[in-house]
Amino acid sequence: MWTANILTLFPDLYPGPLGSSILGEARKNGKWDLNITDLKLFSEKNKRVDDSPFGGGPGMVIKPDVIDRALLSLKSKDFPIYYLSPRGVKLDAQISNYISKLDGMTLVCGKYEGVDERVIKHYNMIEISIGDYILSGGDLAAMVLIDSVVRCLPNVLGNPLTLNDETFTNHLLEYPLYTQPREWKNYKVPDVLLSGDHKKIKNWKIKQSEDITMKRRPDLWKKYLKLK
């Protein structure tokens, strides 16, 4: 069973959205699991899990010994350790797919100004960012990462072909989607999608994805052209 170890100061946040819909059902069915570790249980006698940064500066930093004791308590110590950080490598579909092939991962969720650099280096943590913006802590980012990984696991999605048609597959954004009714507020479903001609429909979808990617994400368009 693929497992996510979570080290957090806020265990009550979990499972949160991870316990609903497709991910929640997959967990009930034994496709994956969560192991939540409360960092506060590994503080010293004074219950301090953080302290002010050496050299000055705003905010508080989570202490390295607290994280160290929490990591040593885990049963699965061989998982790669990821630290959610705005300075990390940006999460993408390739990273999520790679992690889904592992037995699991350990996520360290920071709070305040982050965690002591020494524990990051000691455990060779892989820093991951979910975007160029700042959150109040790493827990929401951890949930995003877990969501993106779990849906890549075998038999989690009802139709495995869904992954092949999604945005970022082959560096293309997804084509427009339509459903009933066929006409809504004078907007009509494109005729090609009602034609029953599978080849024309496939070509239309590819062309739409290419046009949207070229206009909205020139960075992805360059990657697509190289791949093509």
Average of pLDDT values for 88-113?
Answer: 94
Distances (CA, A) of 211 to 9, 93, 129: 44, 21, 28
Q: Are 163 and 174 in contact (CB under 8 A)?
A: no
* Residue 16, both tokens: 């949160």
Q: Which of 182, 170, 180 lies closest to 209, judged by CA?
A: 170
pLDDT: which is higher, 162 or 152: 152
b/e burial code for range 1-33 (CB count within 10 A of at least 16 → b): ebbbbbbbbbeebbeeebeeeebeebbeeebbe
192-213: per-residue pLDDT in tens? 999 999 999 999 999 999 999 9
Task: Give pLDDT tens digits for 100-111.
Answer: 999 999 999 998
Percent residues over pLDDT 70 in the chain: 94
Mean pLDDT of the chain: 92
| Predicted TM-score of the model (pTM) | 0.84
Q: Which domains does the chain have, with CATH numbers?
A: 2-150 (3.40.1280.10), 167-227 (1.10.1270.20)
pLDDT exceeds cutoff 90 at 76: no
